[in-house]
Each structure stands twice: as C-alpha cells, then as structure tokens.
Amino acid sequence: MMDIRAFIDKQLAQWPEAQMCHDDLARIRAKTLLVNGIKIKVQYNPARERSTTAKTDAASVKNRPCFLCPANRPKEQIAMPWEAYNILVNPYPILPRHLTVATKKHVPQSIPGKIPDMLDLAKSLDGFIILYNGPQCGASAPDHFHFQAVESGHTPIERAVDYWIRTPASSILGKVAIREKLSFSGIHLLMSGHNPKEISDVFTKIYQTMISRQYITDEPKMNIICRYTKKLWHLLLIPRTRHRPDRFYAEGDAQILISPGTIDMAGVIVTPRESDFEQVTSTDIERIYKEVAFFELPPFIYPHDSL
C-alpha cells in the first residue's frame, strides 16, 4: 500500500501555491441545494476557471503545450511513479487530497484497456475514489490520459452507492452484480464484484455495445467512478448526452459557467465565478443535469440481450 498521504504532505510543503489552494478548501464558499430530492453541494472555486472554460477541441489542444507531460509541468510539481502512471498533486483542488494520475506516455484520453488500471488504483489508494472524465465529458486534457482521485466521503453519489448496494441487483453476469439506478444526475450503471477482471470484462461488453448501437467510432460520452471497499470493487458508469449545458454558451447574465465533469455528476458542482455561485438555483442544477445526462434508459446503454 503506497503512502500517498505522506507524498501529498511532502509535495504541498515544497509548493506554496498548491499548499495555499489546498488550504483554501477549508474556507471556500459553499452552499447546499436540494436537487431531485438529494442535497447537492455547490462551491465557489475561482481557481478552477481555467479548467472549467478549457477549450478541448482538436485545434485548441494541438496549439497548447500538454500540462501533464513532465517537460511542461510546474518545476515545483513532483511525481510518485505507479505502474505506467505518475501520481501528481492537483494544484487546484475541488475536494481534499485531490490527485491527478497521468500516464507516463503522452497518449489520448480513451478508456478502453484502462479499466483494469482504474480498479487496481482504487485498491492501491486506500480511502480514495478514482474518477474518469471522458474526452468530451470534463477532461481538460483530452490529449493525455489521466484519472483523478479524491479522498472518499465527500460526494453525495457515494452515499447513494452505499444505499444501492443493499438493494437487489438488476441482473448478474457471472459474479458481477449490475444495478440500474436513477439518481439526481441521471441514469447510472453500477457494477460490483470481487473479481476485477470480471468487472472489466462486463464494462468492455457494455462499452462495445454502446459503440455499435450508437453507430459511432469515438468514445461514448461518459464519466466513471471507482471505489474499493471491504474487498469489493464498485464501478459506476454515468452515460452522458452532452459535454456542456445550454447556459454555458449563453451570453451576458444568462450565462452560467458550469461544465460538468465527474465530480459535478457526483454531486459537487463547481462554479468558478462568484456571480454564478450566488445566482444558481436548484432548478438551474436540475436543468443542467437533464441537459447532459440520460434520465430514461436508452436501449444502447444497457443491452441485456447482448451480455
């Protein structure tokens, strides 16, 4: 088991800017809104504006240096090697002990073949949940593969999962229990089991069917959350319809700069502008979720007949 907390403390002691941002989490402005019957957290986090507004189209990505490659990272940022990845302290955290886990090689953000790594990382990082932002669903670096990790216990979706795993499975494939659940942020598929290979195989079948039934070649829009607890893995797939909601692109007072990534879909909404934080309502958040997620189960998302 890696001593990740000692690594984080060492990094923050050597990087005053990152230390300040992590300390600021304790003083950050936040409020709670009731969305679809669940208490959602909204935070005003100006340090996240760059990530929230990042241009992720191919031309923009091509014309900027990759900030996850060693040559372009801040000189203060150190890395903890782990398998084919480098674990990095995120200098602009959303939640406590926020990490970025980037591949050592510069390869695109694409999940096929990486679920075994995600499951292994969840077991290795005790007390953390592992997050994946799809290249069109929150990843500000779609050109360099990475996970994120945050200390567990800070997101509403985790409490939902704790409840869901006590309910009957929708179906069982091998020894993997699959649960279809409607949450505050849309339809979710929860895969639970003791064998990481079996979970990875189930995910791969669902992924491949999503591709074939949507007639697409790019990665389906999705966010993924992984947690390991009590010798059991839980892999949560959140299928998405869109990257950003209408009001992200609106002008003037109608604009709200909320660009949902995995943490937002998990129930922690990030607003980098104070005006957005003050004006956003439960109705706004509910509408944003409905614009970027499925609230009814499309046949291509969970193909019972193909598993």
Predicted confidence band of residue 300 (pLDDT cuts 50, 70, 90): low
Question: Domains in the chain and their CATH numbers?
Answer: 4-54+62-306 (3.30.428.70)
- Which position has the token pair 């998405």? 240
Task: Flag whether pLDDT at 12 surpasses 50.
Answer: yes
What is the distance between the alpha carbons of residues 51 and 92, in angstroms, rounded to a whole number? 9
Confidence of residue 306 (pLDDT cuts 50, 70, 90): very low
User: 175-204 burial, b if ≥16 CB within 10 A, otherwise e?
Assistant: ebbbbbbebbbbbbbbbbbeebebbbbbbe
Q: What is the pLDDT of residues 34-71, one digit of tens each?
A: 998 999 999 999 988 777 777 788 888 888 899 999 99
Whether this prediction's pTM lies above 0.85 is answered by yes
Give tens-digit pLDDT for 202-215. 999 999 988 987 77
The answer to whether the beta carbons of residues 139 and 240 sit under 8 Å apart is no
With contact defined as beta carbons under 8 Å apart, do 258 and 52 qualify? yes
- Whether 265 shows a pLDDT value over 90: the answer reads yes
